[in-house]
Amino acid sequence: MDFGEILEKWEAGRKQQTISKQREPVDDSGFARQIERYLPEEADWEQVIGEKELSDIDPVLRRSTLRRIAPEAEIDLHGMTRDEAVTALDRFFREAASRDLQKVLIIHGKGNHSGRDGAVLPDVVREYLQYSPIAGESGQADRSLGGSGATWVILKE
């Protein structure tokens, strides 16, 4: 067997491998149907939640939906001391839970005017949320809602 024959066999093998590696399109119509069942093509998140109880929706889709909706209540902690902020947060979360709210916004500010000790309220809020039995998932608010100076919270059921 000379080099030319070896090269031809090798190239023929590569062509067969390339052909066998091409995948057939995956039929994801089941997944698409499931998504369409929950979300219209041009869904308004507030409207979707109004039409369907969130408890009836798949937990992953529920969390995704809650992350997108606007907060139902907010509290502004600007100008408060650490103790005042904790008291206000306790009262706010108890009231939010009693009203069956699902998402709230805490405006704590960025600490730009906090002096040499730095921002106090963002740390107070973070610590409070860590130990609160009512507070669930949380994250930095969108820029339009305060950005790094505000935190959204999804309440536990």
Question: Does residue 109 surpass a pLDDT of 90?
Answer: no
Question: Does residue 53 surpass a pLDDT of 80?
Answer: no
Instruction: Supply the CATH classification number for the domain 70-155.
Output: 3.30.1370.110
DSSP state of 81: -
* DSSP sequence for 102-155: -EEEEE----TTSGGG---HHHHHHHHHHH-SSEEEEEEPPGGGTGGGEEEEEE
Question: Does residue 52 surpass a pLDDT of 90?
Answer: no
Q: How big, in percent rounded to 5, are the helix, strand and coil portions of the chain? A: 55, 15, 30
Structure token digits, residue 103: 């998402």
Question: Does residue 111 surpass a pLDDT of 80?
Answer: no
Q: What ranges do the domains of the chain cover?
A: 24-69, 70-155
Q: How far apart are CA 87 and CA 76, in angstroms?
A: 13
Structure token digits, residue 134: 């009512």
Question: Does residue 10 surpass a pLDDT of 70?
Answer: yes
**pLDDT at residue number 15:** 59
Per residue in 146-157, pLDDT (tens digit) is: 777 889 998 887
